[in-house]
Amino acid sequence: MLNMQDQTSANKIDDPIASKLLRQIFVAQIILLPLILILMAVNLPSITWWLGLIVFLAFIGIIVWFYKRFNNHPLLQEKQSLGAQIQQAQSQLAVQEQNIQLAQDKRLSFPTLESNELKAGLQSLQKDYIRAKLKTVSIANAKITGIGPKLKITLLFHRVATAADVDSGIYAIEGFGQAKSQALLQWRDSIQAQIDQTKPTALPVEQTDAIQRKFQNHRRVNDESEQTAIKAKVELEQKEHALKVRSEELAPLTFLSYIFHAIAPNKIVAGFAISLLVIFQIGICFTTTAGVISASVPKPTHTPTVDVPALQIQAYKTAIYNVTLSAPPPTRTFTPTVTLTPAVTLTDIPVSTNTSAPTKAPIPSETAYVLPPQPTYPPGATAICNDGTYSYSQHRRGSCSGHGGVAVWLVVLPQ
């Protein structure tokens, strides 16, 4: 790859090497098109085809070279990376917006969370207070309807010593039926009701302060996270804006604009030159293809013809080739043959008889051979066509084209 020594602006690339090469290509196209036309005119289809193919492949190769050169330019690489950078900035921006929304939702939920934790702490404190008080009430010293000392010993044996130990499990203890179990549970409930009257109604100050300090710290951390997200969002928005501005500046930088600017700084002149370059290339390809196709199609040979009567053709064929006019022309070379026909001449020779009057008898004399009349045809004629005209073509291909085909070959011709 050649080093690109160029000066770049916001939306175009100045490439002296590309400009010089494109001008040389333009001049070469102008020269090659007439040259190909001349080669076609002198009937050199093979050279024309190869020259056209080389020109076309060279043109494609140069376009590929220009495209790679364009793609390797720093401005284009920057343009291609801008899209990924903008997409990345937008993704990060969406994350920061989610963080901001999450911080705002947390801020709204903190009062409820703090209140719930204070309530849970108070309920836990009251539960512990009631259980502790129930443990101080002994069953042995209590007066419970239907529960005497013997049953109390049984309860103690089953580890039910205080009001805190009484629960629904007493139904399984031997000697405690429905009535005694209900009496024991009612006693426990009465004791608990008395204790409820004295249970604490608020958390201790130190416990309340601990919960409040805990949520104050949560609020502070949440506010810091929100501020960090807001700051990051602002920076990402500025970055995204700068990337979009730069992307818009480089948007006109395309391969076509690069080629236009390499040909000429003026867009109108460059467009006209590009149009001519494409037209010349299309003309070269079309002319080359048309010439090759035209050369590959056999063309009829137009030769001067002389009218020959049909009867004369028939006589010629019958005498020499012994064929009729309607028979298809032979594909092999015929050697004319001559049939010698003996001619007999009658003369009068006297013959002796017993009568006085002589009689004459025909006797053969010398045998003479007479050749049939040889047909005559114009000098230079090579074939007789089916419509009675002569062909003067020097090749079999195209002979008698437009005259019904060849009826008789007069000479042996090459294909």
Mean pLDDT on 42-67? 80
Helix (H) or strand (E) holding 70: helix 45-71
| Phi, psi (degrees; rounded to nearest 5) at 313 | -60, -45
Instruction: Encode pLDDT of 308-318 as tens digits.
Output: 455 454 544 54
Split at pLDDT 50, 70, 90, the class of 294 is low
Phi, psi of 363 (to 5 degrees): -130, 150
**Domains of the chain by residue range:** 7-72+264-296, 85-218, 310-351+359-409
Q: Over the range 252-277, which residues count as b (16 or more CB within 10 Å of their CB) and which as e?
A: ebeeebbbbbbbbeeeeebeebbeeb
- Say which range, 85-94, 97-106, 137-146, has the weakest mean pLDDT: 137-146
Q: Which residues are 351's β-sheet partners?
A: 359
Token readout for 140 is 């042995």
- Lookup result for tokens 């009430």: 137
pLDDT higher than threshold 50 for residue 340? no
pLDDT 10s digits, 4-47? 433 344 456 777 787 777 777 777 777 877 777 787 777 777 77
Pairing outcome for strands 368-370 and 341-343: antiparallel
Give the percent of the chain with pLDDT over 90.
Answer: 31
The widest CA-to-CA distance across the chain, in whole angstroms, is 209
- The whole-model pTM stands at 0.48
> By C-alpha distance, which of 155, 233, 224, 211 is closest to 188?
155
| CA neighbor of 13 nearest in space, from 52, 71, 53, 54 | 71
Task: Give residue 229's pLDDT.
Answer: 95
State the pLDDT at residue 196.
92
> Residue 296: what pLDDT?
60
Q: How far is Cα 371 from Cα 34, in angstroms, rounded to an integer?
A: 62
Evaluate if residue 403 carries a pLDDT over 80.
yes
Encode pLDDT of 211-237 as tens digits.
999 999 999 999 999 999 999 999 999
